[in-house]
Each structure stands twice: as structure tokens, then as C-alpha cells.
Structure 1
């Protein structure tokens, strides 16, 4: 899959990925700021700012005008805030790219940020926080981050806290925009049925004159290792208890990343995975179980998840631990590894059929690392992983002495740590 990166003055990076035969175009604007750039006092400001950019601009001041512009051409528009980036995107038909690009640039460069809108939106986000806390499956993953990175930005809920969000004012949003929203801290990723020349011309037109910023650097991640930080739980009167077994992982560009991804595919990557077959198909202890990795620029985590009836909690956790012990002791078979490699490649190419997935893959990497591993390169790296690599990674990263637990529901108690020793 071909792509090209251009740097427009003064520092705006544009990555273009042509997709022949595709009649859609996705434009994704990645700003290099997320919740890990925040302090305790302004936690959630990145997420609130993302919301505020939909509330009206100097050229589209009416409420709903931003959405109406994209709805009116049958397009799709959204945004999201992560730990390290904030992204705004539109997906439109190829003949409407100019309008899609104009709307995104308008939001990012000319949003009004009215005080009354800030007051309304802080209340919206407070409801969003309440909704997340009421969803045990959502909340256990928040706690999984917290137990891995306690008392630091990577371990916080992206949307912030009720206290920090409630205290936010217009001046705080304006300061955040001034600090981080600038040409040199932004990547425009364009994928789909548009030529490179057209993509660059449109980007140049709408972002001409946008100035650079001196974006503050986030605090490096520090993984907690002492025993007091190994459990986070919330007792809630739910029908199930949701539990995450959490281990320190690796940064996104770590050379062992590909072996870890394959290991977790074998452990919990679908209906044929070991955890699914063991905990659900044979023992009937769970409905859902899976495994995944989280990768940041300088840190990461490994998460094994299940949800079960509280009466089955100990048996389910014991079963998960046995599968971890087994893979650490005996590794994986050649058949399992080959299947995991085919799974990875198949899912990759299925995703690359959609312009929004392509824009995300290329733009996200360019934003964080100033370089891209293409889908073909990723698949080649996966092909090189051996059984010995997977066993080594299992022994190194699934070390029981480093394991933590996050749990939400009846029975979410620190005594669960005794079962993973």
C-alpha cells in the first residue's frame, strides 16, 4: 500500500494514502495531545476541548451547523481523545472532499469557544463520566489503567474527574488550544479516492497561515511495582463480576511487539483462542473473555479479561491463571502460531479496505512517531516470529510477580491477588 508524507510550511505534516477503486475519502486530523499531557488540576481538558470544537465557528456559528454541513452531503463525522492524541475526522464521497476538509479546518482553527457552551458541555461530560462508572465492563478497563499507572496521567480516565471537569472554564480551553493546536503538532491523514496533488492542494488552502506551537512534553510513564499498587476494585451490585488480569507491557515500537500480539491472539483473540475454549466452551464459566495489549510511545500493558457470575469467580480466575502458566511453561504449537499469523494478516487486510481505518493506521503512527510501519511491513514482521520468541515473551511479560488485578462487581476484593501468586 503506497503512501507519501509531505511537510507543509510551517511544519504541518500531510500523509496521503491513495486507494484505487474507492469512492470515499477519509480525512483525519491528529493533534499531538491527549490525557497524558494533563495535570491533576486540568484532567479531562483534551476531551472537553474535542467536544467544544463541534459547537460553532466564526463562519458556522449556529449550534448544529458543523454537523449539518456533513450530514447534508451524506458524510460521517466524529472525533475522539486518547491518552496521546486527539483526532477529528470526516468520511465523505470523493466529490465532497473540499467541503469535508473545510469543515475540519474551520473547527480546528476558528472555533468560537463560547462560555455558555463550555458550561453546557461540562455537564454533558459529567453525565458521560457517570455513564462510564455505571458500566462495569467500561469501568474495569479504567481501573486496569489505574492499577498499572497509579497517580499519573496514563492511569487516569481520559475524560477526567468530576472535580477537574466541573472546575473547567473557557480560559482553560483557550489555553489548551494555544499550547497544543498548531501546525507543527498536527498531522492531516487523507486516504481514499483522491490524488496526491488534490490532497495537498486542499490541505494547503485550508491550513495556510496556521502557526506552530511549543507543545509541552508529557511526563514519562512509570510502572508501579510495589505490592500496594497491585489491586484496584469497585464493589457494585451487578449480576456479574468483571475482572482484568494486568501485566506491564511494552512501548509501541518495541521489537517484541509482534511476538506479544501473536501470543495474545493465541491466548484470547477469538473463538478458537485458549481462554475462550477453556473458560467458556469447556468449563461454561464465562460468556466473554479476551486478551489484548495496550501500546503507548514509552510504555504498555497486557490485559486478560473475563466476566462471570460471582459464584464462579475463583474457578474462572484459577482457569485463566492455569492457561497463563501453561503458555509460560510449554509455549505454543506450530499450528497455533501459524493460525495466529494468518488471523493477524487477514484482519489487517480486511481493515485496510476501509478508508477510515487506513487514515487512522497511517495518521496515528505519523503523529506519534514521525514514521510509519505499513500494513505489509507489519505482516512481514509477524511472519518472522518463532515459537521460541512467543515462549520467551510469555515468560518475560506474563510473570506472576508483576501481575495486577482490576475488578468491578460483587467479590471485587484484594484477596484475589492470592490466587495469581
Structure 2
């Protein structure tokens, strides 16, 4: 418990964040940029963030963003292989990589402070001059097949990703970012070049850079951006997606038994989809997410782990996509205890819906959420990802002070009102990976994909 004479943790975090780093927002060559100077950081990260992903892909090009992300790193005119691209950065002690989400593709380079020119050089090569030859495309399709298998073997992650797709249907956003075997088979180097020309340029991106940036970085970045194509702002397609789980509320994938049967564990994801009307609701949902499943003091971890010893961990995830919110509960429990776990989750959510929130616990959840964001500013890569996502998705740079002011408006009463309106049993969906005999006792109507 905090003593009355101690400063508020939120204010302490805000002060530390503003002291450790200076954030500047500007437009360079028409590109929104967010730059964070952290004088004591030993590294610099530059991230080029593009509005891309399944949210923007036409029906016939499902998976093109993720495949293109792989192939752009496969080689460029001056760095003709993945090894050459990587060695150019890694030989200086840095890292280069990329990732795709449902609505954003990001290329980033992290290097020791003082080597920002190298980061900009490699990003320019990858974005402006990728080879995209047919052999590389074919090779990366095989790699993506292995990536798909790796995800499927992570049962908790697979359940969570599958549930999010169910919650977002029938929007194109609901499609898995990796695509399907059939959709990838239809994509060739010409399709990738067409997508590159249309989406990967100055009018469809933001830039985030963080760490030990030099006083000349702004000018260097301007020159680097001038070398990129203009492209066009991405537009979201309007078609509806139909999948084997369309309209399904509960889905089940049976556990695959090996030579030695695995223990009967159930991987469970429960979730809700709802509108997020304004920034106040957005902040409130973020605190609710922390209250329910972030940290061992969260309500679900108290219920499932500390009191009942059912789960090693129970986590929650909240994502927001242009006014659509998705809240997921993820856990793994012994198969025979699946029904009890679902009941416990239901009781915790019901308590929230009925207004049974301890104000101190809600305040501590807000502190946990804010602290996690501020701590990301310590590392240049985490900071660049945070700044880029905020600028790309919310149209505003992350500000420790401004964010805290908004977060202060989140209150228990509003959280309960939102929960009562949206976290209802009729709107809940579930995806589980478990022994079918045990799972169907709890979810008798579950559909097997």
C-alpha cells in the first residue's frame, strides 16, 4: 500500500517519461513522423510503418502483405540476399526485421547509437529497391508454410488468433494475416510488385524513430524519404468474408495425440466484440483489460490461479480497429476443470457488469497499464513500435503527459456501464483446443472447423 506522503505512481511515471526522452512530431516529404530523442540510449531504431495487411487486401490478394514483407527482406539491388541485408546491419551490432499485423506492416532497423545512417540506408534499400524475383517468392512461400505450422503448434496462440478472426467476421480484417495455401499459391512476383508500387510509398506510411538520435537525424530522414515512391493512401475493401466458422459462436479443435498421449489440457479463448465510440471509451477498455488479466493481481488470475489453482496464467488482450473493440480472455486449464474455469471467468465478468469493482483495484490497473507503456520508452525498438502504432492507428503521436490526462478520465462506473452493455453472454464467442469428449460437455454446440 502506498503511504499518503508518497507521490502518485502515475505522476512519477509521467515525470520520468518526459525527463528521459523528448518527442517531436513533424511531416517530412509529406510523411507523418514521430521522433524520440533519448540521449542516454545506446541504440537507435528507425521504423517505416505502412497502412497494409488484410484490412486493406482485396479478396484475390489475401496474404500479399505478409508474403511481400518476407520477400522484401530476401534481397535488394545492392544487398542481393537475406544474408547480405542482415549482415549489413548485424556486422555493426544491429538487427533488421519486419512484421505484419491485420492493419499494418512495419520494417525496422535497430543499430548502435551513432549508426543511424546505416539504418536509413538499409530501410531505403528494402523498401525502394527489393528484387522480388520469382525464385525468392517461391522460397518464401515454403518458409511461410513452416511459419503457419509453428503457429498451429503454439496451441494457446492459435486459439487466441482463431477467436479474433471469429469475432471480426465478416470484415476482411477477420482473415488471418498469413493468408491461406490457396491464396498464396495464386500470388507471383508480378502481383507482389503491383502491391509494392501501390502501397509502399510516402503517401501510405508513417515513420517512428527513437533512441540516441543525432541533431542531424531529421535532415537525414528527409533525404531518405525523398528516395521512396509516392504510392497512394490505402483504401479498405468493402466485401464480406465467408469462412467455415461464419456465424459460429463456439469452435473446437481436438487435441492431436502423439505416441505418448499428452496430458488432458484445454486451451481456451473467450471474447467479445463491441463498438468503441470515443477516446474515453478506448481508455476505459484499456484499464478494464489490465483489471481483468494483466498481472498476478488481476481479477482473473486471482480467481483461476491464486484461489483455485486451475491455471498457470490467465491473460486478457484488448485490440481496437477503427472503432471496433475486441476483448479476449486466454488461459489453459486441466481438461476436467474446463467447466469450472468457464464458470469462474463468467462470475468475474458478471461482477464487473453488476458494478462490483473495488476502486483501489481499478486505480492499480490504470497504473499497471500506464507503467507498461512508459517502460517501453526505455528501449529504442519498443519505443519506435509504440510511437509508430500510435501515429498509424490513432493519427496522433504518443505523449506520456497527454495519455495520462486521457487515462485519468477512466472511472469504475463507466467501466461497469460498458461491461453491462457489451460483455454479455449472448455476444460471447469461444475457441478452444481440447479433448473433444471433455470440451463438448461444456460447449455442446461447438463447431469443429
Place the TM-score, normalised by the shorter chain, in its bin: over 0.9
User: Is residue 205 from structure 1 mapped to residue 223 from structure 2 by the alignment?
Assistant: yes
**Aligned mate of 1:334, from 347, 350, 359:** 359
Match for residue 219 of structure 1 among 237, 243, 249: 237
Q: Structure 2 matches for 1:21-170, cutoff 5 A?
A: 21-170=40-189
Rounded Cα–Cα distance in structure 2 between residues aligned with 1:118 and 1:261: 39
Equivalent residue, structure 1, for 2:267: 242
Tell me: CA distance 1:418–1:262, structure 2 relative to 1, closer, same or farther (3 Å).
farther
Contact 1:13 1:184 in 2 (8 A): no
Any conservation in 1 of the 2:204–2:234 contact (CA below 8 Å)? no
Q: TM-score, normalised by structure 2?
A: 0.87
Q: Does the alignment pair 1:310 with 2:335?
A: yes
Secondary structure at 2:114's aligned position in 1?
Answer: helix
CA distance in 2, matches of 1:198, 1:396: 51
- Distance in 2 (CA, whole Å) between partners of 1:252 and 1:97 is 40
In 1: Cα distance, 2:190 partner to 2:115 partner: 35
Partners of 2:45 and 2:209 within 8 A in 1: yes
When residues 58 and 92 of structure 1 are mapped into structure 2, their CA distance, relative to the original with a 3 A threshold, is: same
Preserved contact between residue 290 and residue 298 of structure 2 (Cα < 8 Å): yes
Preserved contact between residue 170 and residue 241 of structure 2 (Cα < 8 Å): no
What's 2:403 paired with?
A: 378
> How far apart in 1 are the matches of 2:266 and 2:277?
30
The 1:227–1:158 alpha-carbon spacing in structure 2 relative to 1, beyond 3 Å, is closer
1:83, CA displacement in angstroms?
A: 0.8
Aligned to 2:323: 298
Give the conservation status (yes or no) of the 8 Å contact 1:252–1:295: no
Report if aligned partners of 1:58, 1:112 keep a CA contact under 8 Å in 2.
Answer: yes
* Mean CA deviation greater in 360-369 or 207-216: 207-216
Residue 363 of structure 1 is matched in structure 2 by 388
Offset from partner CA, 1:328-355 (integer Å, 9 cap, x none): 1133112111211222232222222111
Task: Work out whether 1:416 is the aligned partner of 2:436.
Answer: no
SS of the residue 1:293 aligns to: strand
- The 1:253/1:211 distance shift into structure 2, 3 A limit, reads farther
| Alpha-carbon spacing, 1:381–1:320, altered in 2? closer, same or farther (3 Å) | same
After superposition, what is the alpha-carbon deviation per residue over 1:97-124, rounded to whole angstroms, capped at 9, x for unaligned? 1011100111000011111010111011
Match of 1:257? 282
Q: 2:310 aligned to 269, 285, 298, which one?
A: 285
Secondary structure (helix, strand or coil) at the match of 1:90 reads strand
CA 1:288–1:157: 2 relative to 1, 3 Å = same
Residues 91, 357 of structure 1: alpha-carbon distance in 2 compared, 3 angstrom cutoff = same
Contact 2:250–2:445 under 8 Å retained in 1: no
Unaligned segments of structure 2, at least 5 residues: 1-17, 257-261
* Structure 1 unaligned regions, length at least 5: none
Provide the C-alpha distance between the structure 2 equivalents of 1:248 and 1:210, rounded to a whole number of angstroms: 38
State the shift of 1:157 in Å: 1.4
* Matching residue of 1:3: 23
Report the CA distance between 1:37 and its aligned residue.
1.3
Residues 212-253 of structure 1: per-residue CA shift (max 9 Å, x gap)? 2224411369899x9943122212236421111110144596
Aligned-CA RMSD value: 2.4
Give aligned pairs, total. Answer: 416
Shift of 1:209: 4.1
Residue 69 of structure 1: CA displacement?
Answer: 0.6
SS of residue paired to 2:410: coil
Alignment of 1:393-408 (within 5 A): 393-408=418-433
Contact 2:311–2:331 (CA under 8 A) maintained in structure 1: yes
